[in-house]
Structure formats: C-alpha cells, structure tokens
Structure 1
Amino acid sequence: MLNTFPTMRRAAMAAMTVAVAGLVFSGCTTTPDKASASAAEQRQEINSGTDATLTKLYEASPQSKALVERAKGVLVFPSVLSASFIVGAQHGKGVLRVGGVDSGYYSTTAGSIGFQAGAQSKAVILLFMTDEALQKFRNSDGWTVGADATVAVAHVGANGSIDTNTAQQPIVGFVLNNGGLMAGVSLEGAKIAKLDL
C-alpha cells in the first residue's frame, strides 16, 4: 500500500492537470460555440479573421505583402488558441488561399508540456513559396510541421524588414499576437488537417 501511494498520487495529479488544462482551454474565449455554428458561418468567420490577420501582418512588416503576393499558396489561421497548465494544447481553424481564392479549410492542433499556466491567442500564417511545397501540402492526408516539411519562421527586423535568407525558403511562417509579430517561435509539431466546411 505504501509503495502504490506515490504512483496513485502522480496519476491523480496528472488527471487533475489535464482536467484543469481542458477547463482553461474551453473557458478562455468569448466567441460563440463553433460546434453550433453552421459551415457557412464558420467559413465567413475564418475568412474575415484571415483578412484582418493579413492586414495586421502588412502593418507589422510592410515587406511581407510582396512575399504574400509571390507565394503560390497562403494558409492563414487567424486565431490559434493555446492553453496550458503543465500539459498544453493549441487549436485553430484556417483557410488556404491560392491565387487569392479560398481553396480549402484546415485545422491545426499541437500539444506541449510546460510549467506555465495560462492561455493566449495567436495567428499563424504559412506561405508556400514554391509549387512543389504547395502540392505536397495539398496532396497530404494530414501534414505535420517538422515531419512533412520545415517551416522557416520569418525573422523580421525592427524596421519590419524580413531576413533575406528566410524569404528564400520553400515555406515561410509568421506568428502574430496582439503585440505584433512574435520572435523566436517554433511551429514544430503542429499538425494540420483538411476540414469539411
């Protein structure tokens, strides 16, 4: 009995941590329940969020507009909600635009282990700079950053200029929060899957 007590305590602590993370994750948004929204409403919300996200990106880094225009495909997740309490999770929905036209809706999910409690929302933008990178993404049945392709998160200078080496990579990523572009962020391990919207 004495030997099983620490094991039981660890199991109870892990279960409690997952439960608290779930409560934080579900309770930290004021947006309406997405499950009850129709597919058309979800598409409209994603599209308007995408337009606002791109506008914010261009304000933070005017040079990014030329990069977006050169991209073969632009995948935008306007609101990726992350919550953590030892065990973390993040989730968001986005749209792929090819030639300025909506070409499919996607979800992104990722998990992490950390020691900070809290929740935050960020926007993630992926630019597919080559036809090959875009086709590999579109033809995949589930796609993971780091396993299926490397994403070069853009290094943006104080004046909003983008590092030229980053801009030449097949897939370029940007991460924005309310404060603007986030530096030193990794997208490694993020899983992206097609949605039926």
Structure 2
Amino acid sequence: MRTLVAFAVLLCTFMAGPATAASKAEIDAKTKAALTAFYEHSSAGKELVQKSRGMLVFPEVIKAGVGIGGEYGEGKLIEAGKTTGYYNIAAASIGFQLGAQIKSQIILFMTQDSLNQFKRSEGWKAGVDGSVALVTLGAGGEIDSNNIKDPIIGFIFSNKGLMYNLSLEGSKITRLNK
C-alpha cells in the first residue's frame, strides 16, 4: 500500500510540470555540471561536441515507475557555445518496472540539417522525427566509431560516470517558454 501511495505522489509531481519547473539559472548550473562530468569521462565525447552544430543537454532526467512509468527532465539547446532555447523531455512506459533513477542525456546534432529539422518542430519525438544513435563509451572514454557518421548522436550517463545503453526512442522533446 505504501508503494502505491508513493507512486501516486510521484505521478502527481510529474503531472505538476510547470509548477515545479526549474529556473534558467538552475538549468544553466546543472548543465554546466553535467558537461563537466561528461568531459571528465570522455575526451572523445568533447571532440564530438566541438564538431556538432548544436547539442541538447538534459542534466537531470528523472525516471520512475511501478508498472506504469514516466520520465521528465529539463535542459537547454546550445549552439556555438550559446544557449538558444530551453526544452523538456518526457516519456511514458507500461510494463514490468519498479524503481527510480536520475540520468543525464546529451543529444548532439552533427549536421545543420538535423539541427534545423529539430528547431522547426513543435514537439520533436526521438525515433519518429529523428533517429538518435546512442553511443557507448569503452574503457578510457573511447567512442564506438561506427556511430560517428550519424546525424544525431546521443549519450546517456549518470553522475557516477556509468554509461547506460538505454533508449531515447519515444521520448518527446518540447520547447519551453523561458
């Protein structure tokens, strides 16, 4: 029964959305920390960031579920070192699941066309509006070179530096008015 109550509270927190939205300053500070952690674990990732046309950084994506799950996070789009917009990412799932986790996500737009397509969209959905090639890091932050030619590259990691081979498919990304 306690689990059900906890899930209901968590679900209400997710549904509250704008009432608990982070400020620009909070998103900026968390983004800086997430990028620092990412660069510490992968110099090759830093090189890819420098080659990209833009990057979406979601420093804290909270995922939780008990049978029915959801995830939500807020972040920003950075182009040529400058913030050009704030976004949220959300997804829902049904199936065997129990627990919660916090992860960071970075999505790199390697071509101007892929970045433009993302920016023109009202609500961009991974796997529908654009396929994201998830990159896994090897020992020492090495990157699987098979994914480098993809127009959109994604990284998912935790604040402990562990890389997860998870999916972004079905995640919806929407611009925030900040």
Name the TM-score, length of structure 2 as normaliser: 0.90
Matched, 1:89 2:70: yes
- In structure 2, the gaps of 5 or more residues are none
- Larger CA deviation: 177-186 vs 136-145: 177-186
Does residue 157 of structure 2 align to residue 176 of structure 1? Answer: yes
Q: Is the 2:77–2:87 Cα contact (8 Å) retained in structure 1? A: yes
Deviation at 1:48, TM superposition (A): 0.8
User: What is the CA deviation profile of residues 141-166 of structure 1, one whole-angstrom value per residue up to 9, with x for unaligned ones?
Assistant: 10000000000011211121111111
Alignment-derived partner of residue 194 in structure 1: 175
* Mapping 1:19-98, distance limit 5 Å: 20-25=6-11, 35=19, 42-98=23-79
Tell me which moved more, 149-158 or 114-123: 114-123
> CA 1:127–1:22 in structure 2 vs 1: closer, same or farther (change >3 Å)?
farther
Whole-angstrom distance in 2 between the partners of 1:36 and 1:169: 35
Amino acid of the structure 1 residue aligned with 2:94: I
Q: Partner of 1:159 in structure 2?
A: 140
Check whether the contact 2:69–2:97 (CA below 8 A) recurs between aligned residues. no
Give the Cα–Cα distance (whole angstroms) in 1 for the partners of residues 145 and 39 of structure 2. 17
How far apart are 1:169 and its partner, in Å? 0.8
Question: For 1:25 and 1:113, how far apart are their aligned partners in 2?
Answer: 14
Judging by fraction of residues, say which structure has more strand. 2
Separation (CA, whole Å) in 2 of partners of 1:67 and 1:99: 13
Q: Please give the alpha-carbon distance, in whole angstroms, between the structure 1 residues aligned to 2:13 and 2:173.
A: 23
Which of the pair has more CA radius of gyration? 1
Deviations 1:26-50 (A, max 9, x none): 679xxxx97267xxx7101101111
The percent identity for this pair of structures is 43
Q: Which residue of 2 aligns with 1:114?
A: 95
Identify the residue that residue 12 of structure 1 maps to in structure 2. none
Q: Output the aligned Cα RMSD.
A: 2.2
Does the CA-based 8 Å contact 2:136-2:163 persist in structure 1? no
Does structure 2 conserve the Cα–Cα contact (< 8 Å) formed by 1:124 and 1:173?
yes
How far is the alpha carbon of 1:118 from its aligned partner?
1.2
- Amino acid across the alignment from 2:7: A
Segment drifting more, 102-111 vs 115-124: 115-124
Partner of 1:3: none
Equivalent residues, number: 174
Residue by residue, what CA displacement relative to the aligned partner does 1:67-98 show, whole Å, maximum 9, x if unpaired?
00111001001111111000000001110001
1: CA distance, partners of 2:165 / 2:20: 36
| Equivalent residues of 1:84, 1:114 under 8 A apart | no
Deviation (angstroms), 1:24: 3.4
Structure 1 segments unaligned to the other structure (5+ residues): 1-15
